[in-house]
Amino acid sequence: QDIPSLHEVFADYFPIGAAIEPFQTKGLKAELLKKHVNMIVAENAMKPSSIHPTEDQYNWGPADQIVQFAKENNMQLRFHTLVWHTQVGDWFFIDRDGKPMIDETDPAKQEANKQLLLERLDSHVRTVVSRYKDDIVSWDVVNEVIEPNDPDGMRASLWYQLTGTDYIETAFRAAREAGGEHIKLYINDYGTDDPTKRELIYELVKELLDKGVPIDGVGHQTHISIHWPPTDLVIESMERFAELGLDNIVTELDMSLYAWNDRSDFGDNIPEDVLNKQATRYRELFEAFKAKQDILSEVVFWGIADDHTWLSGFPIKRTEAPLLFNDVLHAKPAFWAIVDPE
């Protein structure tokens, strides 16, 4: 196909990335990736449950495959994610007697459990960071720790219920110690455009920075739709974090065809005007990103083509087409809108 390379088009601005699975390092998908992106991230292979399924066992194989693919093709690599409340082995939260830590009522044992959990986390972070510290340009240290509807605006995960915000502090400090000064550490979340959520993240990060916790920037997942949010809100959020001297990354970009609370399904007939609207939105977004290149250092899509997108199963099973290439890997109107914005 005689089309421009996406990452070359943006070479003066920021790397362009995509999330991938190990099986996509071969075949047609791999060719598409090699042409268009100069950064990759593991869609699942580096999450805690995949990379550290039981306490004494690390599963490096799938993660290493992705590292290898990046090296062979001169792509930068980012890491997703050292800590999360989901896709994490249950073993983290079971005490030495085989009992769920959360059921403990004796205060002395609660404190012992908290220490055990933080030690496990510290060991997980140091082991993973030590192995990949020279391969990764940016690390998602924690993912989705803010939840405006939970008490204190902190997600009421087992991590938070058992340790408060100590787990966040432990993860960042361990990563810095294991990886050294040059590695870049991020707090990643979705809905960072929402001013309420944005301010909760801002307050948390500010408090941690004041305590000397090493945080370099904010990862904005940017799972958006053709209807929401307005580009201005996305950009305002980056500007807000830049006030703290922080970097910003777009970590999981995709653009659903449906409004968030809409449960309809286009099936086999995605209307042309919907794809055109998507193109217009993508154009506006990337023009805004370019203008903010001083505070935005990477733009990473959550996938590359519509044949493989987590949104086709979330929040319901249906036809989705959130990316720049369609389900037969051809460039969509959104691709052309970005590479040729006039």
Give me the active site residues, please.
252
Contacting residue, 221, 278, 297, 326, with ligand XIL by CB under 6 A: 221
Binders in 20-49 for ligand XIL, by CB under 6 A: 43-44
Looking at the Cβ atoms of 68 and 86, the one nearer to ligand XIL is: 86
Sorted by sequence, the CB contacts under 8 Å of residue 41 that are 6+ apart come out as 17, 18, 19, 20, 77, 78, 79, 80, 251, 300
> Count of alpha carbons within 13 Å of 104, Cβ hemisphere only?
22
Cα(129)–Cα(122) distance, rounded to whole angstroms? 11
308 near ligand XIL, judged by CB under 6 A = no
Contacting residue, 310, 312, 318, 329, with ligand XIL by CB under 6 A: 310
Binders in 224-253 for ligand XIL, by CB under 6 A: 252
Looking at the Cβ atoms of 74 and 261, the one nearer to ligand XIL is: 261
Q: Read off the tokens for 98.
A: 């085989």
Looking at the Cβ atoms of 44 and 276, the one nearer to ligand XIL is: 44
Binders in 170-189 for ligand XIL, by CB under 6 A: none
- Least distance to ligand XIL from the beta carbon of 69, Å? 18
Site string for ligand XIL, 137-166 (x = CB under 6 A): ------x-----------------------
Looking at the Cβ atoms of 252 and 320, the one nearer to ligand XIL is: 252
- Least distance to ligand XIL from the beta carbon of 132, Å? 17
- Least distance to ligand XIL from the beta carbon of 253, Å? 11
- For the purposes of burial, counting CB atoms within 10 Å of the CB of 103, is it exposed (0-12), middle (13-18) or buried (19 or more)? exposed
Please, where are the H alpha helices in the chain?
6-9, 28-36, 48-51, 61-72, 107-132, 158-163, 166-179, 195-210, 231-242, 272-291, 333-339
Looking at the Cβ atoms of 170 and 188, the one nearer to ligand XIL is: 188
* 98: alpha, beta or left? (left if phi > 0; alpha if psi -120 to 50): left
Helix/strand/coil for 116: helix
Residue closest to ligand XIL when measured from CB atoms? 310
Cα(258)–Cα(241) distance, rounded to whole angstroms? 29
- Least distance to ligand XIL from the beta carbon of 145, Å? 12
Q: Count interface residues toward ligand XIL (CB under 6 A).
A: 6
Cβ atoms 308, 30 nearer than 8 A = no
The residues that touch ligand XIL, with contacts defined as CB under 6 A, are 43-44, 143, 221, 252, 310
